[in-house]
């Protein structure tokens, strides 16, 4: 037998094996379904929160007792927010040992940027442009969460974010659909890997389907009205990739209505697109209470009608509405909902339970020794540190104020956030422990003893948590005097300001996105006292940094970087790591510019620079451009792009090549970006669209040639009917270090 034949045979056996395994799952689901009553099928479609922690409005008094009764009757298919193997085991034992059929629960949890060990918030992490690290970060999260009994995460969030007022921009990968798609794919791979059956992998959840990021005026849960053309080209691509290439096992629908229909009751989104056009074979979970919320939307008369709509339009699992478990069996019995609807939903849910291996070993995620060994594992802390430093974005560095020499004398560190070990954890970290981040001060201490700290103004008043708004301290200015005296007597001042960790995330929309409260006043006064200021920012969304950009010589965007925050920030401050992060959301000049995004259309009266003629698309009082563009980030070295060439290859392929040289004195990493613009098409196309990027590491003086091939898939687009079209004609191809600073060449495909 030749070697090739041997390989072929092995491949064949592999595929037959995979197929028969799937067949067994299908057969086993069929056999189980045949035994189930209508109530038991509906039970699989019911998900409750635990009482250990909640991530939405707390369940009503008295629910706990009822919940345990329902659990024993097989009326619960899944729980979320159960903490730790001991509790998971306790609840799972009831499901397995006390219900008629012993079907195990699937345990969901919001593992958004880690379970115990926290990586940077997802928006920050996306600024690393390092897909391998992003995948490892999700792998780390899955390893810890699965060791704590969890088998399903409600992540990644892949909503496109164009409006920094929206608090949930921190959970995604920014404003670009192509980049969001591949970052989400890396995250799904990290959670699920190739084998969901392993005990250290968990099912992922693509959320929120769909268009939640387009909430009007950035206000949480608000209405969304967007055209089908935008839906197909901007909103859908990450989800389509997650389903088709990522084999994501679950999808969560969204709170918002889309063009008049709540997503949870949308036949179009769930049955036509997701389960129809894309053939999604996992299950859809509603968002927290979103089934019954259709009453408040004005789309259902009452809870019962909401249940009927949600189930028939394809929401397979009801998170926390208590709606399916109350009404659905009756609706099926009366013929108002077809039994095939609940058969299909239960089949999807059971299939994922089989795939996870829960049906064979319901306690496979409940090993306390593993839990003990893996949570906060030292390798995880190292990884979180590595990701954190790569997520930092250097926005400005005049007079080469950074990096700071460790011999630098008399450094002042000012700001409440510099000593904070909680805020840097960011929002959405319910599995982790409060106060477990390395504060900036501690990070700095590892590099120098020559610093003095003053808090300045206190950021907040009293206790804060995930469920409540942060109360800003807007009156107490007593700390400023001391801070100013310190600034005056120092050679260099590091000012750490920004948002408290719970000022972004769900329910945290803001109309003012400046540096909050008295911190900006303090920054201004410090700058008056000593202009050698390094501004270290902590925040969960793009902020309006106009004043700082105009005055402060060095600005470092440090987001909420998770567990290793302070170490990572100090590495960059003192030059141990040369910053390489680049923004994945445009930073506006003011809240009035929102929504702002680089891939907008040109309009018929595009911007004319340097003119006072009014008849063009612009603001009378402010530039059109963002303060910092998409893809922007500086380094302690410099890069030069040269030898840019585009060439047409057969089959409408465009070869793009260029060289990047590190022209500075330090080794570094650069994220080279390729954009296109379709010059004329049957529908207007964006002025720029990211199509490729590459992060390259270059020693000082070194250069590297980069080559990409763009195909019809990159040059085409979806029309309003959702059909993908490629149209010949002229295209601008752009290369550069960010969306603003590009070189352009035109190519025509005939």
- Positions marked active-site: 287
Could you say which of 39, 40, 110, 571 contacts ligand BGC (CB under 6 A)? 110
Question: DSSP letters of 267-296?
Answer: HIIIIIIIIIIT---SEEE--TTTTTHHHH
Residue 348 CB, nearest distance to ligand BGC (Å)?
18
Residue 151 CB, nearest distance to ligand BGC (Å)?
15
Q: Pick the closer one to ligand BGC by CB: 223 or 652.
A: 223
CB 323 within 8 A of CB 307: yes
Could you say which of 44, 46, 47, 55 contacts ligand BGC (CB under 6 A)? 55
Tell whether residue 154 is a contact of ligand BGC (CB under 6 A).
yes
Residue 467 CB, nearest distance to ligand BGC (Å)?
11
Tell whether residue 249 is a contact of ligand BGC (CB under 6 A).
no
Q: Pick the closer one to ligand BGC by CB: 215 or 520.
A: 215
Q: Which two tokens stand for residue 596?
A: 């702002």
Question: DSSP letters of 132-185?
Answer: HHHHHHHHHHHHHHHHTT--EE---B------TTSGGGGGS--S-HHHHHHHHH
Tell whether residue 159 is a contact of ligand BGC (CB under 6 A).
no
Could you say which of 40, 135, 144, 287 contacts ligand BGC (CB under 6 A)? 287
Residue 435 CB, nearest distance to ligand BGC (Å)?
22
Tell whether residue 187 is a contact of ligand BGC (CB under 6 A).
no
Q: Pick the closer one to ligand BGC by CB: 159 or 386.
A: 159
Q: Pick the closer one to ligand BGC by CB: 297 or 455.
A: 297
Tell whether residue 288 is a contact of ligand BGC (CB under 6 A).
yes
Cis amide bond preceding 208, omega within 30: yes
Q: Pick the closer one to ligand BGC by CB: 214 or 708.
A: 214
Q: Pick the closer one to ligand BGC by CB: 80 or 140.
A: 80
Tell whether residue 283 is a contact of ligand BGC (CB under 6 A).
no
Q: Judging by DSSP bridges, how do beta strands 283-285 and 250-253 pair with one another?
A: parallel
Q: Pick the closer one to ligand BGC by CB: 56 or 722.
A: 56
Tell whether residue 161 is a contact of ligand BGC (CB under 6 A).
no
Residue 708 host element (H or E)? strand 703-710
Residue 430 CB, nearest distance to ligand BGC (Å)?
8
DSSP symbol at 309: H
Lay out the site mask for ligand BGC across 499-528 (x = CB under 6 A, - = otherwise): -------x----------------------
Q: Which two tokens stand for residue 560?
A: 């909420």
Please work out, in degrees rounded to the nearest 5, the angle formed at the alpha carbon of residue 249 by the alpha carbons of 245 and 251: 95
Footprint of ligand BGC on 433-472 (CB under 6 A) = none
- Separation of alpha carbons 206 and 115, rounded Å: 18
Residue 56 CB, nearest distance to ligand BGC (Å)?
5
Tell whether residue 207 is a contact of ligand BGC (CB under 6 A).
yes
CB 344 within 8 A of CB 34: no
Could you say which of 51, 56, 271, 681 contacts ligand BGC (CB under 6 A)? 56
Q: Nearest-CA neighbor of 464 among 502, 427, 438, 426?
A: 502
Q: Which residues of 522-545 are buried (b: 16+ CB within 10 A; e: fewer)?
A: bbebbbebbebbbbbbbbbbbbbb
Q: Judging by DSSP bridges, how do beta strands 639-649 and 653-662 pair with one another?
A: antiparallel
Q: Nearest-CA neighbor of 182 among 579, 692, 688?
A: 692
Residue 80 CB, nearest distance to ligand BGC (Å)?
6
CB 457 within 8 A of CB 522: yes
Rg (C-alpha) for the chain, rounded Å, is: 27
Q: Which residue is nearest to ligand BGC (CB)?
A: 55
Residue 507 CB, nearest distance to ligand BGC (Å)?
8
Q: Pick the closer one to ligand BGC by CB: 252 or 676.
A: 252
Query: Which stretches of the chain bind ligand BGC, using CB under 6 A?
Result: 55-56, 80, 110, 154, 207, 287-288, 506
């Amino acid at each position: 037998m030749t070697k090739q034949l041997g390989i072929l045979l092995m491949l064949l056996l592999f595929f037959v094996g995979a197929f028969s395994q799937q067949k067994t799952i299908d057969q086993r689901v069929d056999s189980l379904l045949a035994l189930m009553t209508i109530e038991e099928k509906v039970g699989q479609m019911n998900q409750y929160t635990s009482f250990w922690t909640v991530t939405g409005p707390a369940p009503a008094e008295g629910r706990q007792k009822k919940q345990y009764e329902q659990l024993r009757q097989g009326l619960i298919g899944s729980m979320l927010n159960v903490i730790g193997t001991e509790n998971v085991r306790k609840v799972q034992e009831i499901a397995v040992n006390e219900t008629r059929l012993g079907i195990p629960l699937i345990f969901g949890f919001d593992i958004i940027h880690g379970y115990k060990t926290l990586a940077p918030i997802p928006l920050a992490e996306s600024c690393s442009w390092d897909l391998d690290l992003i995948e490892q970060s999700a792998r780390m999260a899955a390893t810890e969460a699965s060791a704590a009994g969890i088998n399903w995460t409600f992540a990644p969030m892949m909503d496109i974010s164009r409006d920094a007022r929206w608090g949930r921009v921190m959970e995604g990968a920014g404003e670009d659909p192509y980049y969001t798609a591949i970052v989400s794919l890396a995250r799904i791979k990290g959670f699920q890997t190739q084998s969901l059956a392993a005990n250290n992998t968990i099912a992922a959840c693509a959320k929120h389907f769909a268009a939640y990021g387009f909430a009007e005026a950035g206000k949480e849960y608000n209405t969304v009205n967007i055209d089908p053309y935008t839906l197909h080209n901007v909103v859908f691509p990450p989800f389509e990739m997650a389903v088709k290439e990522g084999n994501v096992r679950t999808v969560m629908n969204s709170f918002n209505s889309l063009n008049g229909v709540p997503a949870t009751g949308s036949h179009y989104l769930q049955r036509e697109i997701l389960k129809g056009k894309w053939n999604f074979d996992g299950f859809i979970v509603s968002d927290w209470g979103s089934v019954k919320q259709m009453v408040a939307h004005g789309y259902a008369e009452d809870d019962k009608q909401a249940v009927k709509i949600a189930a028939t339009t394809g929401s397979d699992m009801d998170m926390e509405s208590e709606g399916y478990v109350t009404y659905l069996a009756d609706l099926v019995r009366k013929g108002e909902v077809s039994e095939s609807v609940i058969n299909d939903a239960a089949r999807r849910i059971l299939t994922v339970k089989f795939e996870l291996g829960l049906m064979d070993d319901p306690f496979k995620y409940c090993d306390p020794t593993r839990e003990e060994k893996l949570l906060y594992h030292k390798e995880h802390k190292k990884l979180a540190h590595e990701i954190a430093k790569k997520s930092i974005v250097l926005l400005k560095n005049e007079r080469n104020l950074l990096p700071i020499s460790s011999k630098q004398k008399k450094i002042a560190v000012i700001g409440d956030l510099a000593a904070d070990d909680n805020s840097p954890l960011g929002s959405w970290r319910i599995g982790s422990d409060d106060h477990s981040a390395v504060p900036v001060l501690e990070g700095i201490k590892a590099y120098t003893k020559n610093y003095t700290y003053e808090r300045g103004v206190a950021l907040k008043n009293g206790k804060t948590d995930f469920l409540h708004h942060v109360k800003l301290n807007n009156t107490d200015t007593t700390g400023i005097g001391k801070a100013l005296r310190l600034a005056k007597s120092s050679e260099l001042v590091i000012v750490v300001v920004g948002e408290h960790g719970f000022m972004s995330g769900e329910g945290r929309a803001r109309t003012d996105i400046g540096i909050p409260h008295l911190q900006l006043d303090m920054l201004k006064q410090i700058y008056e006292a000593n202009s050698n200021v390094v501004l270290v920012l902590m925040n969960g969304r793009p902020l309006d940094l106009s004043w700082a950009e105009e005055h402060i010589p060095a600005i470092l965007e440090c987001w909420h970087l998770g567990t290793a925050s302070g170490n990572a920030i100090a590495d960059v401050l003192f030059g141990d790591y040369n910053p390489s992060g680049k923004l994945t959301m445009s930073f506006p000049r003011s809240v009035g510019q929102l929504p702002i995004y680089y891939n907008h259309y040109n309009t018929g009266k595009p911007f004319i620079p340097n003119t006072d003629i009014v008849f063009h698309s612009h603001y009378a009082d402010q530039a059109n451009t963002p303060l910092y563009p998409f893809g922007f980030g500086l380094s302690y070295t410099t890069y030069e792009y040269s030898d840019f060439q585009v060439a047409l290859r057969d089959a409408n392929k465009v070869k793009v090549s260029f060289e990047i040289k590190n022209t500075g004195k330090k080794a570094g990493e650069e994220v080279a970006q390729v954009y296109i613009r379709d010059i004329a098409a049957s529908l207007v196309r964006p002025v720029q669209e990211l199509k490729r990027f590459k992060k390259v590491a270059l020693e000082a003086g070194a250069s590297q040639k980069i080559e990409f091939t763009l195909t019809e898939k990159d040059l085409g687009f979806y029309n309003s009917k959702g059909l993908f079209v490629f149209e010949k004609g002229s295209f601008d191809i752009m290369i550069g270090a960010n969306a603003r600073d590009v070189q352009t060449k035109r190519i025509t495909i005939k």
